Amino acid sequence: MDLKRGAFVIGLAAAGSVALTGCIQEEVGPGSVDTLASCEGKPNLSATGSSAQANAMLAFNVRYGESCPGKNIAYTSSGSGDGRVQFTSGYTDFGGTDSPITGDQLAQAQQRCNGHEVWNLPLVFGPIGMAYNVEGVDDLVLDGPTIAKIFNGTIRNWNDPQIAALNENQNLPDRGITVIHRSDSSGTTDNFQLYLETVAPDAWTSGAGSDFTGGIGNGFRGNEGVAQAVASTNGAISYVEKAYIEQNGLPAAQIDNGSGPVPLTIETAAEAIEQAEFAGTGVGDMTLDLESVYGATEPGAYPLVLATYEIVCSGGYDPETSAAVKSFLTVAANEGQVGIEGMGYVPLPDAFRDRLMDSINAIG
């Protein structure tokens, strides 16, 4: 079964769950019944949101059922914006989002949590690759300023001197660049543009946000649509999550972070995550200062990494929901991380997981 797909609802209680469980276990390998989770609380949780973490939620749900028999989460992959809205409105137990909940939505969510703080807890990391399709070019190298100029239309040809300077051993064709971007509102787009703002502020001046601001190129819906468009277009380039690059058999450019070219791998992305800093301090909200990741210049650190958050109430849940949310997140942060690199995600570093567990345990 091909698990690297777009929007779907995850639930192991439905018919066919045994076959689904088997498919996930093929992807992530055998699990363990050892768990730190209490496995208390209501049997069924609901969550909605980020499609970037949807495949990870599949794996987490399998581990949840293994560690806490009879427990299940129904996760609807419908986009980060919807995840924030559904949580704020009280329709789901927690939300999934590629960008932390802030501003007016945060204030509304605090009302939904009966006045308690709302926490953004980063649970899933996935590298974003620069997928390309250029006949005869196999080992493309790009850096942040060059990527920014490609996506704002300043650089329009593959043999442009700025690209050539990074690829002295490549025979770059005299071919126009076809920029592909997301047409839908996307956390992947937001993270990509935040990266460009961080590493190329002089070149990328159109801002960030969930909608593409570069003003050029052709838009396609979802990671899958973008990857397929690149695969079918000689001369194309786009930003795509790692799993979809691999699914479509596309090459991904190495990114020169200032210390030399770095390939897109789970290990190099983990190196950048190790540099992550937090906007706040102490136990609780874990909103990341992503400039510390995007701007990573350590040798071997791949800087273009997307973090997806679970939006939770720090308190204000009924006891059955609180216990179930804590149990699920505990499983996801621990045994749930086993094997997810096979799905294109980066397992949580130990020190990061320890801090995350402090926040999970503090949920009232």
CATH number, domain at 245?
Answer: 3.40.190.10
pLDDT at 15: 33
- Other beta carbons within 10 angstroms of residue 169's beta carbon come to 6
Residue 2 lies in a domain: no
The residue segments making up the domain with residue 222 are 127-270
pLDDT at 28: 58
Q: Tell me if 132 sits within 8 A of 250, measured CB to CB.
A: yes
Residue numbers of the chain with a pLDDT score lower than 70: 1-33
Q: Are residues 140 and 49 in the same domain?
A: no
Q: Are residues 265 and 134 in the same domain?
A: yes
Residue 206 lies in a domain: yes
pLDDT at 3: 39
Domain end: 220, 242, 270, which one? Answer: 270
Q: Which pTM was predicted?
A: 0.82
Q: Are residues 87 and 203 in the same domain?
A: no
Number of domains in the chain: 2
pLDDT at 5: 33
Q: Are residues 187 and 90 in the same domain?
A: no
∠ CA 235-155-186, rounded to 5° = 70
pLDDT at 2: 36
Residue (of 228, 229, 181, 243) closest to 209 by Cα position: 181
Q: Are residues 27 and 60 in the same domain?
A: yes
Q: Are residues 258 and 158 in the same domain?
A: yes
CA 204 to centroid of chain Cα atoms = 22
- 120 burial level (CB within 10 Å; 0-12, 13-18, 19+): buried
- Other beta carbons within 10 angstroms of residue 106's beta carbon come to 17
Q: Are residues 181 and 212 in the same domain?
A: yes
